[in-house]
Amino acid sequence: MSIGLPIPWAKAEFWGNEEKYLVDALRSSWISGGAYVEKLEAACAARIKAPHAFAVSNGTAALNLAYLALDIQPGDEIIVPGFGFMAAANVALQLHAVPVFCDVDPDAWCMRASDVAPLITSRTRAIVAIHTYGNMCGVDELVALGTQHGVPVIEDAAEAFGSKMGDAAAGSRGLINTFSFHATKTITTGEGGLVTTNDDALASKIRLFRSHGLRRERHYWHEIPGNNFRLTNLQAAIGVAQIEHIDQIFARRGAVYEQYTRRLRNIPGLQLQRLTPGCSPVIWAVAVKLEPAHYEQGRDAVMQQMAQKGIETRPGFQAPSEMHYFAPTHLPVSEELGRSVISVPSYPSLSELEIDFICNELANLSTSS
Ligand X SMILES: Cc1ncc(COP(=O)(O)O)c(C=O)c1O
Q: Does 85 bind ligand X (CB under 6 A)?
A: yes
Closest among 122, 108, 172, 106 to 143, alpha carbons compared: 172
- Residue 130 beta carbon to ligand X: minimum distance, rounded to whole angstroms: 5
Tell which phi-psi region holds residue 255, choosing left (phi > 0), alpha (psi between -120 and 50) or beta: alpha
Q: Which stretch binds ligand X (CB under 6 A): 34-42, 82-90, 137-145, 288-296?
A: 82-90
Strands 341-344 and 124-130: unpaired
Residue among 151 and 160 whose Cβ is closer to ligand X: 160
**Other CB atoms within 10 A of residue 62 CB:** 33
Element (H, E) at 52: strand 52-56
Residue among 21 and 317 whose Cβ is closer to ligand X: 317
Q: Which stretch binds ligand X (CB under 6 A): 65-73, 81-89, 101-109, 256-264?
A: 81-89
What DSSP designation does 237 have? Answer: H
Q: How many chain residues are in contact with ligand X, going by CB under 6 A?
A: 13
**Binding flags for ligand X, 162-181, as an x/- string (CB under 6 A):** ------------------x-
Q: Does 87 bind ligand X (CB under 6 A)?
A: yes
> CA triplet 116, 122, 125: central angle to 5 degrees?
65
Q: In the beta sheet, which residues pair with residue 177?
A: 155, 196
Closest among 362, 369, 357 to 299, alpha carbons compared: 362
Q: Does 210 bind ligand X (CB under 6 A)?
A: no
Q: Does 232 bind ligand X (CB under 6 A)?
A: no
Residue from 60, 172, 188, 232 binding ligand X (CB under 6 A): 60
Q: Does 331 bind ligand X (CB under 6 A)?
A: no
- Residue 228 beta carbon to ligand X: minimum distance, rounded to whole angstroms: 15
- Residue 132 beta carbon to ligand X: minimum distance, rounded to whole angstroms: 7
Q: Does 156 bind ligand X (CB under 6 A)?
A: yes
Q: Does 159 bind ligand X (CB under 6 A)?
A: yes
Q: Which stretch binds ligand X (CB under 6 A): 58-66, 69-77, 233-241, 264-272?
A: 58-66
- Residue 291 beta carbon to ligand X: minimum distance, rounded to whole angstroms: 25
Contact yes or no for 109/102 (Cβ under 8 A): no
What DSSP designation does 318 have? Answer: P
Residues whose CB falls within 8 Å of the CB of residue 59, separated by 6 or more in sequence, listed in order: 87, 156, 158, 178, 179, 180, 181, 182, 193
Residues whose CB falls within 8 Å of the CB of residue 138, separated by 6 or more in sequence, listed in order: 110, 112, 113, 165, 276, 277, 278
Q: Does 343 bind ligand X (CB under 6 A)?
A: no
Q: Which stretch binds ligand X (CB under 6 A): 12-20, 57-65, 141-149, 286-294?
A: 57-65
Q: Does 103 bind ligand X (CB under 6 A)?
A: no
Element (H, E) at 264: helix 246-264
Residue among 249 and 365 whose Cβ is closer to ligand X: 249
Closest among 62, 15, 55 to 32, alpha carbons compared: 55
- Residue 340 beta carbon to ligand X: minimum distance, rounded to whole angstroms: 19
- Residue 200 beta carbon to ligand X: minimum distance, rounded to whole angstroms: 25
Summarize as ranges the residues that interact with ligand X (CB under 6 A): 58-60, 84-85, 87, 130, 156, 158-159, 180, 182, 193
